[in-house]
Amino acid sequence: MNKNTKIIFFDIDGTIYKSGKGVPDDTCDAIGKLKENGHIPVICTGRSRKRVYSEHLAPGFNYIVSGAGTNIEINGESKYLYEMESADAKEMFNELMENDFLPVGEGYADIFLGNNKSILMGKYRECLENYYQEEIADDLIIYTNQEMHISKVSALYSATSNEEAIIERYKDKYTFVNHNGHILEMIPKPFSKATGIEKLIECLGIDRENTYAFGDSFNDIDMLKYVKYGCAMGNANEELKAKVPFVTKDYDKGGILEALKKFNLI
Protein backbone atom coordinates (compact mmCIF):
# COMPACT_ATOMS: atom_id res chain seq x y z
CA MET A 1 0.00 0.00 0.00
CA ASN A 2 1.33 3.45 -0.95
CA LYS A 3 2.47 5.37 2.15
CA ASN A 4 0.43 8.36 0.97
CA THR A 5 -2.81 6.36 0.75
CA LYS A 6 -5.51 7.62 3.10
CA ILE A 7 -8.45 5.54 4.26
CA ILE A 8 -11.78 7.22 4.96
CA PHE A 9 -14.62 5.56 6.88
CA PHE A 10 -18.24 6.57 6.32
CA ASP A 11 -21.25 5.72 8.45
CA ILE A 12 -24.38 5.16 6.34
CA ASP A 13 -27.55 6.51 7.97
CA GLY A 14 -27.50 10.27 8.43
CA THR A 15 -23.95 10.53 7.09
CA ILE A 16 -24.03 9.60 3.41
CA TYR A 17 -27.62 8.40 3.13
CA LYS A 18 -31.18 8.77 4.37
CA SER A 19 -34.09 6.50 3.61
CA GLY A 20 -36.27 7.98 0.90
CA LYS A 21 -33.58 10.45 -0.12
CA GLY A 22 -30.63 8.23 -0.99
CA VAL A 23 -27.01 9.34 -1.32
CA PRO A 24 -26.61 12.98 -2.42
CA ASP A 25 -25.03 13.46 -5.85
CA ASP A 26 -22.22 15.61 -4.49
CA THR A 27 -21.34 12.89 -1.98
CA CYS A 28 -21.19 10.29 -4.78
CA ASP A 29 -18.95 12.60 -6.80
CA ALA A 30 -16.68 13.28 -3.82
CA ILE A 31 -16.22 9.57 -3.08
CA GLY A 32 -15.40 8.98 -6.75
CA LYS A 33 -12.71 11.67 -6.58
CA LEU A 34 -11.28 10.05 -3.45
CA LYS A 35 -10.73 6.86 -5.43
CA GLU A 36 -9.26 8.76 -8.38
CA ASN A 37 -6.73 10.26 -5.96
CA GLY A 38 -5.68 6.81 -4.78
CA HIS A 39 -7.48 6.86 -1.43
CA ILE A 40 -9.77 4.18 0.02
CA PRO A 41 -13.40 4.97 0.95
CA VAL A 42 -14.95 2.46 3.34
CA ILE A 43 -18.52 1.87 4.51
CA CYS A 44 -18.38 1.55 8.32
CA THR A 45 -21.82 0.78 9.70
CA GLY A 46 -23.73 -0.81 12.51
CA ARG A 47 -25.95 -2.40 9.87
CA SER A 48 -25.25 -6.07 9.25
CA ARG A 49 -23.91 -6.95 5.80
CA LYS A 50 -27.35 -8.19 4.78
CA ARG A 51 -28.68 -4.68 5.40
CA VAL A 52 -26.01 -2.88 3.37
CA TYR A 53 -27.96 -2.37 0.15
CA SER A 54 -26.88 -1.70 -3.40
CA GLU A 55 -27.89 1.95 -3.14
CA HIS A 56 -25.46 2.40 -0.21
CA LEU A 57 -22.62 0.96 -2.29
CA ALA A 58 -23.48 2.93 -5.45
CA PRO A 59 -20.78 5.61 -4.93
CA GLY A 60 -18.19 2.86 -5.44
CA PHE A 61 -17.48 1.27 -2.08
CA ASN A 62 -15.40 -1.92 -2.32
CA TYR A 63 -14.46 -2.03 1.38
CA ILE A 64 -17.08 -2.64 4.06
CA VAL A 65 -16.95 -2.80 7.86
CA SER A 66 -20.42 -3.92 8.90
CA GLY A 67 -22.29 -5.22 11.93
CA ALA A 68 -20.48 -2.75 14.21
CA GLY A 69 -17.09 -4.32 13.50
CA THR A 70 -18.21 -7.95 13.38
CA ASN A 71 -17.62 -8.29 9.62
CA ILE A 72 -14.95 -7.02 7.25
CA GLU A 73 -15.29 -7.36 3.50
CA ILE A 74 -12.88 -6.42 0.71
CA ASN A 75 -13.95 -6.54 -2.94
CA GLY A 76 -16.85 -8.85 -2.18
CA GLU A 77 -14.79 -11.28 -0.08
CA SER A 78 -15.39 -11.61 3.66
CA LYS A 79 -12.07 -11.24 5.49
CA TYR A 80 -13.45 -11.50 9.02
CA LEU A 81 -16.78 -12.63 10.43
CA TYR A 82 -17.92 -13.03 14.03
CA GLU A 83 -21.15 -14.88 14.78
CA MET A 84 -22.92 -15.39 18.09
CA GLU A 85 -23.36 -18.92 19.36
CA SER A 86 -26.76 -20.05 18.12
CA ALA A 87 -27.84 -21.16 21.62
CA ASP A 88 -26.99 -17.71 23.00
CA ALA A 89 -28.86 -16.01 20.18
CA LYS A 90 -31.98 -18.10 20.79
CA GLU A 91 -31.87 -17.43 24.53
CA MET A 92 -31.61 -13.69 23.85
CA PHE A 93 -34.51 -13.76 21.38
CA ASN A 94 -36.73 -15.54 23.88
CA GLU A 95 -35.84 -13.15 26.71
CA LEU A 96 -36.41 -10.09 24.53
CA MET A 97 -39.85 -11.33 23.53
CA GLU A 98 -40.69 -12.11 27.17
CA ASN A 99 -39.81 -8.49 27.97
CA ASP A 100 -42.00 -7.09 25.18
CA PHE A 101 -39.32 -6.29 22.61
CA LEU A 102 -39.43 -7.37 18.99
CA PRO A 103 -35.96 -8.87 18.42
CA VAL A 104 -34.21 -8.68 15.06
CA GLY A 105 -31.16 -10.90 14.58
CA GLU A 106 -28.77 -9.41 12.05
CA GLY A 107 -26.33 -11.65 10.21
CA TYR A 108 -24.08 -11.66 7.18
CA ALA A 109 -26.65 -13.37 4.98
CA ASP A 110 -29.83 -13.63 7.06
CA ILE A 111 -32.18 -11.44 9.08
CA PHE A 112 -34.32 -13.11 11.74
CA LEU A 113 -37.46 -11.42 13.05
CA GLY A 114 -39.19 -12.26 16.34
CA ASN A 115 -42.59 -13.89 16.05
CA ASN A 116 -44.30 -11.28 18.26
CA LYS A 117 -44.85 -8.43 15.78
CA SER A 118 -48.33 -7.89 17.20
CA ILE A 119 -46.86 -5.99 20.17
CA LEU A 120 -45.84 -3.13 17.88
CA MET A 121 -48.28 -0.26 17.54
CA GLY A 122 -48.15 3.25 16.15
CA LYS A 123 -44.66 4.74 15.91
CA TYR A 124 -43.05 1.40 16.77
CA ARG A 125 -44.71 -0.31 13.82
CA GLU A 126 -43.66 2.60 11.61
CA CYS A 127 -40.12 2.03 12.84
CA LEU A 128 -40.25 -1.59 11.71
CA GLU A 129 -41.56 -0.57 8.30
CA ASN A 130 -38.81 2.03 7.89
CA TYR A 131 -36.06 -0.14 9.32
CA TYR A 132 -36.36 -2.89 6.71
CA GLN A 133 -36.56 -1.85 3.11
CA GLU A 134 -37.91 -3.59 0.06
CA GLU A 135 -34.52 -5.05 -0.85
CA ILE A 136 -34.76 -7.61 1.98
CA ALA A 137 -38.48 -7.57 2.82
CA ASP A 138 -39.04 -10.98 1.23
CA ASP A 139 -35.96 -12.49 2.91
CA LEU A 140 -36.89 -11.94 6.55
CA ILE A 141 -36.93 -15.24 8.47
CA ILE A 142 -39.54 -15.51 11.21
CA TYR A 143 -38.02 -16.93 14.39
CA THR A 144 -39.26 -20.40 15.33
CA ASN A 145 -36.48 -21.44 17.73
CA GLN A 146 -34.30 -22.55 14.81
CA GLU A 147 -30.51 -22.27 14.54
CA MET A 148 -29.42 -18.74 13.75
CA HIS A 149 -26.26 -17.30 12.20
CA ILE A 150 -26.22 -13.71 13.44
CA SER A 151 -23.63 -11.23 14.65
CA LYS A 152 -25.77 -8.80 16.65
CA VAL A 153 -29.33 -8.08 17.73
CA SER A 154 -31.49 -4.99 17.38
CA ALA A 155 -34.54 -4.94 19.65
CA LEU A 156 -37.50 -2.80 18.62
CA TYR A 157 -39.33 -1.18 21.51
CA SER A 158 -43.03 -1.55 22.22
CA ALA A 159 -45.08 0.53 24.66
CA THR A 160 -44.39 -2.02 27.42
CA SER A 161 -40.75 -3.01 26.81
CA ASN A 162 -38.73 -3.72 29.95
CA GLU A 163 -35.40 -2.16 29.04
CA GLU A 164 -33.96 -2.34 32.55
CA ALA A 165 -34.36 -6.12 32.72
CA ILE A 166 -32.57 -6.66 29.40
CA ILE A 167 -29.69 -4.31 30.19
CA GLU A 168 -29.17 -5.87 33.61
CA ARG A 169 -29.18 -9.36 32.10
CA TYR A 170 -26.71 -8.64 29.29
CA LYS A 171 -24.64 -5.65 30.44
CA ASP A 172 -21.46 -7.68 30.95
CA LYS A 173 -21.41 -9.16 27.46
CA TYR A 174 -23.03 -6.53 25.25
CA THR A 175 -22.76 -2.84 24.48
CA PHE A 176 -26.15 -1.10 24.22
CA VAL A 177 -27.05 1.77 21.89
CA ASN A 178 -30.50 3.32 22.32
CA HIS A 179 -31.67 4.78 19.00
CA ASN A 180 -34.16 7.46 20.05
CA GLY A 181 -36.29 5.07 22.09
CA HIS A 182 -37.18 3.08 18.97
CA ILE A 183 -34.40 0.50 18.77
CA LEU A 184 -32.09 -0.97 21.40
CA GLU A 185 -29.00 -2.13 19.53
CA MET A 186 -27.05 -4.92 21.27
CA ILE A 187 -23.44 -5.36 20.14
CA PRO A 188 -21.27 -8.19 21.50
CA LYS A 189 -18.28 -6.93 23.46
CA PRO A 190 -15.59 -5.95 22.56
CA PHE A 191 -16.80 -5.24 19.02
CA SER A 192 -17.38 -1.73 17.74
CA LYS A 193 -16.83 0.28 14.59
CA ALA A 194 -13.41 1.18 16.03
CA THR A 195 -12.34 -2.46 16.40
CA GLY A 196 -13.43 -3.08 12.81
CA ILE A 197 -11.35 -0.15 11.62
CA GLU A 198 -8.37 -1.41 13.59
CA LYS A 199 -8.61 -4.86 11.97
CA LEU A 200 -8.98 -3.45 8.47
CA ILE A 201 -6.06 -1.01 8.58
CA GLU A 202 -3.88 -3.75 10.07
CA CYS A 203 -4.86 -6.02 7.19
CA LEU A 204 -4.07 -3.30 4.63
CA GLY A 205 -0.90 -2.04 6.32
CA ILE A 206 -2.22 1.53 6.63
CA ASP A 207 -0.97 3.69 9.47
CA ARG A 208 -3.53 5.10 11.90
CA GLU A 209 -2.15 8.57 11.08
CA ASN A 210 -3.81 8.20 7.65
CA THR A 211 -7.33 7.46 8.90
CA TYR A 212 -10.45 9.64 8.67
CA ALA A 213 -14.08 9.01 9.61
CA PHE A 214 -17.50 10.64 9.28
CA GLY A 215 -20.53 9.93 11.46
CA ASP A 216 -23.65 11.47 12.95
CA SER A 217 -24.79 9.38 15.94
CA PHE A 218 -23.51 8.07 19.25
CA ASN A 219 -22.75 4.63 17.86
CA ASP A 220 -20.12 6.47 15.80
CA ILE A 221 -18.26 7.98 18.76
CA ASP A 222 -15.69 5.17 19.13
CA MET A 223 -14.97 5.34 15.41
CA LEU A 224 -14.63 9.12 15.39
CA LYS A 225 -12.26 9.07 18.35
CA TYR A 226 -10.17 6.14 17.11
CA VAL A 227 -9.21 7.61 13.75
CA LYS A 228 -6.75 10.48 13.39
CA TYR A 229 -9.38 12.79 11.91
CA GLY A 230 -12.91 12.25 13.18
CA CYS A 231 -15.62 14.49 11.73
CA ALA A 232 -19.28 14.80 12.77
CA MET A 233 -21.99 15.75 10.32
CA GLY A 234 -23.81 19.03 10.81
CA ASN A 235 -27.06 17.11 11.37
CA ALA A 236 -25.49 15.18 14.27
CA ASN A 237 -26.59 15.57 17.88
CA GLU A 238 -25.03 18.67 19.50
CA GLU A 239 -23.57 16.58 22.30
CA LEU A 240 -21.77 14.36 19.80
CA LYS A 241 -20.44 17.35 17.87
CA ALA A 242 -18.93 18.68 21.10
CA LYS A 243 -16.95 15.45 21.54
CA VAL A 244 -15.13 15.34 18.19
CA PRO A 245 -12.47 17.64 16.72
CA PHE A 246 -14.14 18.39 13.38
CA VAL A 247 -17.69 19.22 12.27
CA THR A 248 -18.93 19.69 8.72
CA LYS A 249 -22.27 20.63 7.12
CA ASP A 250 -25.36 18.43 7.04
CA TYR A 251 -25.25 15.21 5.03
CA ASP A 252 -27.51 16.72 2.32
CA LYS A 253 -25.93 20.18 2.31
CA GLY A 254 -22.53 19.29 0.92
CA GLY A 255 -21.05 18.17 4.21
CA ILE A 256 -18.95 15.29 2.87
CA LEU A 257 -17.71 17.23 -0.16
CA GLU A 258 -16.77 20.24 1.93
CA ALA A 259 -14.89 18.23 4.56
CA LEU A 260 -12.93 16.12 2.05
CA LYS A 261 -11.78 19.33 0.38
CA LYS A 262 -10.74 20.83 3.72
CA PHE A 263 -8.76 17.67 4.51
CA ASN A 264 -7.07 18.05 1.09
CA LEU A 265 -8.23 14.58 0.09
CA ILE A 266 -9.90 15.76 -3.11
Query: Which pLDDT value is given to residue 129?
Result: 77
- Quick one: 91 and 182 in the same domain? yes
Phi/psi for 147 (5° steps) reads -65, 140
- CB 251 within 8 Å of CB 14: yes
pLDDT exceeds cutoff 70 at 134? no
Give residue 135's pLDDT. Answer: 57
Least confident window among 2-11, 85-94, 160-169, 208-217: 2-11
Separation CA 266–CA 262 (nearest Å): 9
Number of domain units in the chain: 2
Indicate whether 209 pLDDT > 80: yes
Check residue 1 and give its pLDDT. Answer: 67
What pLDDT is stored for residue 244 in this prediction?
A: 94
- 3-state SS, residue 71: strand
Does residue 20 fall inside a structural domain?
Answer: yes
Residue where a domain stops, chosen among 139, 158, 188: 188
For residues 138 and 46, state if they share a domain.
Answer: no
Specify if 220 maps to a domain.
yes
Q: Which of the four pLDDT bands, split at 50, 70 and 90, describes residue 125?
A: confident
Q: Is 2 within the bounds of a domain?
A: no
pTM: 0.93
State the average pLDDT over residues 148-158: 96
Q: Which domain holds residue 200?
A: 7-82+191-262
Last residue within a domain, chosen from 159, 188, 217: 188
In a domain, 1, yes or no: no
The CATH number of the domain where 251 resides is what? Answer: 3.40.50.1000
When pLDDT is averaged across residues 47-55 and rounded to a whole number, the result is 92
Q: Are residues 222 and 184 in the same domain?
A: no
Same domain, 183 and 210: no
Is 200 found in the same domain as 237?
Answer: yes
- pLDDT over 70, % of the chain: 96
For residue 16, tell me if it sits in a domain: yes
Q: What is the pLDDT of residues 31-40, one digit of tens each?
A: 999 999 999 9
CA distance linking residue 238 with residue 119, whole number of Å: 33
Closest CA to 94 of 72, 75, 116: 116
- Report the mean per-residue pLDDT for the chain: 94
Q: Which residues contact 155 (CB under 8 A, 6 or more apart)?
A: 96, 101, 102, 103, 104, 161, 166, 183, 184, 185, 186
Residue 229 falls inside a structural domain: yes
Determine what percent of the chain is predicted with pLDDT higher than 90: 86
